[in-house]
Amino acid sequence: MNVNSGQERLLYPAKLSKTLGRLASYLLAWGTLTLFGTTEAMSQAYTINIQPADSLARYALRALDNRKFTDSLQVVSTLNQITSKLRLDGYIFADFHDLRWKGDTVNGFLSAGKRQYLSLRNANDGKQYSSWNNLQSNATFNKDLESYLNNGYPFARLYFKEATFSYDTLRATLDVEKGPQIVFDSLVVIQKGRTKTNFLQKYLFIAEGTPYSERAFQGIASRINNSGYLRTTSSPQVEFYAGKARVSLALDELHVNQIDGVIGFLPDQNSETGKLLLTGQVETDLHNLFGTGKHVYLNWQNFNVASQKLDVAYDHPVLLGSPLDFHGGFQQLKQDSSFVTRSAQAGFKLPIGYFLKFGFGLDFRQNSLLSANRISSTEKLVNADSRLNQYQVAITYTQLDDMLLPSKGMSSGLTIGVGQKEIVRNSIVDPELYNDVQLKSIQATIEGYLENYLKPAKAVVFAQQVYVGSILNDQVFRNDLFRFGGLRRLRGFNENQFYSQHYGVGVAELRFLFQEESYFVTFADQGIISREAGSWVYAAGVGGGMVLKVNNGIFRLMLAVGGTKGQPMDVAQPKVHFGFVNRF
């Protein structure tokens, strides 16, 4: 952190416990720091041989059992931690005595002393505190200080005034000194690309002229690295001068825009000759449009005979300069000549902290029959025309080391929608089939996911993923159900093969990295699926493949086989997916 020489940066603690420790340190001008203050760090093994002067000191020294230290500064830090903890528990005269170096060993004694009582008054609200434990667990002091630190007073500090000792009691008043008011100045971007500085300031909550916030500054790196299209190359820096704070960033713009074409060969289950069915998809994913963080996504799939799926999404961060992010989406699914399902979403997301987002919005869904052939043959209302309008709330948590190819961290999300569903009578359907149908009902839809990434070895990543979903309504038809199966979820099966009212899918992947963004992978997918009749189906898929980074993109090849209890795995008919993702 850089500070102009005309403005001293006071590094006061933001937590009350540290303030208490510092007070005790002021009262003890002798001891550890005096002895070790000029010790140089040397690269060798050090040990500590400290004898306890009382029973409490003996307990505190258990932290040193069987420990080795690489340099003398680490020894100093460890000894200070021991005394600080004792002082925070009320033993404010705890200290080391007769400390001496003998070769690579430090010898001495630790005395905890007698615990002191407390009589402390908060100058802001007048509350009295008479217990060290109550004081440390009470958030009042921290909230007072953090309110100043995040509203234009980065040099605010807690301090004791009128501190006196009376017998075995510390009497003092704790107050806050605000210091000078500071506002954010212009943002300095090193290695500037096409991302606009004005957008970055709003996106990072450090807009020019707004009060300085320590929380916003500390969250800069996390917010940038979780954007998916930017990455910090060094820690953010801040310089204070003349009532202003100038933030400097070193950024790298990632090549994450992509155009993806994938071709798949699947066995044609409608063919008696065993012919292969050619499937495919086209995906366009554009990030940081116009240098303002906007995102456009388009995905089209031809996953079966006369069956297609379209998915379009748009994201607009910091809408009108506010903390809100806007999201809009549209999906259409055409299932051969049976039905068409269309849905649209509009909503907002609000960041909470560095990794958490809360969302709310609306979801509209419409089902339309194209043919009544299946209904006529079964004399049952299998599919139905319907309209569903839902209010949605969502929460997501993302903390990954890399948004493109994570190897450590976790990502999770939960979406809940509740609204009214209306069944619409269709003239091509026998009216008597609607006699036992409740035309209007309340429906709840729940979907969630959890992804976890571990790196047990330098070139090995273990990925675990869980996806769940549930539709809570008695009036549910085939064209209302979740659709999945295929490359993106439950590999080894045809695209969108499964219909389900309730489902859970687990994924385990073992990736073997051999160069940047390139790896071999083996995987196992398992799913539990509730079909229309209420029965449960257990499905599993296994396979492997390769992801290879080439000049301007990613080549992907996956081979998988899947099976259920009634459909065992057939290694002679694997599902093959390959394609090329062009990044720019």
pLDDT at 132: 60
User: Distance between CA 383 and CA 385 in Å, rounded?
Assistant: 7
What lies within 8 Å, CB to CB, of 222 at 6+ separation is 354, 355, 399
pLDDT at 14: 38
pLDDT at 31: 37
* Strand arrangement of the beta sheet that strand 105-111 belongs to: 47-52, 105-111, 95-102
Q: Tell me which residue of 444, 398, 99, 24 sits closest to 223, measured CA to CA.
A: 398
Strand partners for 402: none
Q: Where are the beta strands (DSSP E) in 181-229?
A: 183-184, 188-190
Angle value at C-alpha 436, between 431 and 439, nearest 5 degrees:
80
pLDDT at 434: 86
Length of the chain: 584
Could you tell me the pTM of the whole model? 0.73
Residue 403 in tokens = 């948004």
pLDDT at 77: 74
User: Distance between CA 295 and CA 280 in Å, rounded?
Assistant: 23
- pLDDT tens for the chain, residues 1 to 584: 444 333 333 333 334 444 444 444 443 333 333 334 334 444 457 788 888 888 888 888 887 777 777 766 677 778 888 887 887 777 877 888 888 888 888 888 988 888 777 777 766 666 766 666 555 545 556 677 788 889 999 888 777 777 777 777 777 777 778 889 999 999 999 876 889 999 999 999 999 999 999 889 988 988 898 888 998 888 898 888 889 999 999 998 888 898 877 666 666 655 555 566 667 778 899 999 999 999 999 998 887 777 888 999 999 999 988 889 999 999 999 988 888 999 999 999 998 877 899 999 999 999 998 877 666 656 778 889 999 999 999 999 998 888 888 999 999 999 999 999 999 988 888 888 888 889 999 999 999 999 999 999 999 999 999 999 999 998 999 889 998 888 778 888 887 888 899 999 999 999 999 988 899 999 999 999 987 656 888 999 999 999 998 887 888 889 999 999 888 888 888 888 777 788 88
pLDDT at 121: 73
User: Distance between CA 111 and CA 153 in Å, rounded?
Assistant: 39
pLDDT at 254: 87
Residue 111 in tokens = 């005395």
DSSP 225-270: HTSSSEEESS--EEEEETTEEEEEEEEEE----EEEEEEEEEE-TT
Q: Where are the beta strands (DSSP E) in 178-229?
A: 183-184, 188-190
pLDDT at 7: 31
The CB density around residue 436, as the number of other CB atoms within 10 Å, is 7
- DSSP for residue 83: H
Domains of the chain: 31-111 (3.10.20), 183-253 (3.10.20.310), 258-583 (2.40.160.50)
pLDDT at 73: 63
pLDDT at 409: 92
pLDDT at 281: 79
What lies within 8 Å, CB to CB, of 147 at 6+ separation is none
- Map residue 439 onto helix, strand or coil: coil
Cβ contact 202:213 at 8 Å: no
Strands 47-52 and 105-111 turn out to be: parallel
Cβ contact 287:231 at 8 Å: no
Strand partners for 299: 283, 311
Q: Estimate the share of the chain in helix, then strand, then coil, as percent rounded to the nearest 5.
A: 15, 50, 35
Q: What is the largest CA-CA distance in the chain?
A: 98
